[in-house]
Each structure stands twice: as C-alpha cells, then as structure tokens.
Amino acid sequence: MTEATTFDVTLVHDNWPEKQAGYFAALAADPPTGFEFSPKIWGHYPGITGSREARTRFHAIASVVAEVAQKHGVLLNDAGVEKPQEWCGDDWNQRITAHLLLMAAHRAPYCGLTLEDLVGFLRSTAPAQARMGPGTDAPVEGGRTPS
C-alpha cells in the first residue's frame, strides 16, 4: 500500500450556471479542516484551498469533494485545470482526471443524465481497461486483445 502524502487542493465552482452567494454560505462558514473558503479564487470563482493527506492527488481531491458534497450539498466542479488535454506527469494527470470527472458530474443533470448514466458509461469501458495505461499503446490484431 502506498504511503499517504499531503497534497495541495484547490476546488472551485466555475460559476456555470451562476450560483448566488447563499449557495456557498454553509461551506464558507465551515470549510473542511485545513481549508479556507474564498468567494474569489483566481479573482473570479468561489471555492476552497487547502491540503489533504491521501494516497494520491486523485484520492485527496475525491476525499474533499465527497466531504463538501455530503456536509454542504455543494458540488465544486473545477479542480483548476485550464487545458485538460495537456498531460504532463502522474500527479498532474490525476488532477486532470479528477477535473474531468467533476465537470461530468456537474454537467450531467443539466443535459438529462443521472449519476447512474455516468457510472454505467465508465463501466462500459471495462473491456478496454486492460489495454490502457503506460506501455499499452501497441496496436492489437483485429482490434482485440489476444487471449
């Protein structure tokens, strides 16, 4: 098992759709331990900054997202990634992955999708999971993994 590390985490609400200040009142009054709320992170967005101990950056972000959602009913939908298509290294890539999942969780209800739809979509990729990750980009005959 990987040892826990402390990760800096910034989560914001990108203000689409725009939320009134009252939406964030409980979070502002009682952010997670080790975090501070600001109505204007990066000069624009309401959110929190702080640090969280976890196995990976992804798990640190997930832990804070879960705590805020459970305690305050607020989904902070942005992990501070401007260009999610730019992959740089494991730590940054985990932040990008969390960012994209937050975007999906936030936008799904606005286009008629449920959490179950999202989970089902992710689970539908399971047959290809064995062929993903470092060193797995070689072409396979007929598009299928040899048995």
Q: Which two tokens stand for residue 9?
A: 């985490």
Residue 74 C-alpha from the chain's centroid: 14
Tokens 């990066």, residue located:
42
Question: What's the average pLDDT block by block, 10 residues per block, for the chain (147 residues)?
Answer: 86 82 92 94 88 92 92 87 73 87 91 90 74 58 47
C-beta of residue 10 within 8 angstroms of C-beta of residue 39: no
How open is the CA angle 111-116-120, to the nearest 5 degrees?
100
pTM summary value: 0.74
Instruction: Give me the pLDDT at residue 147, please.
Output: 42
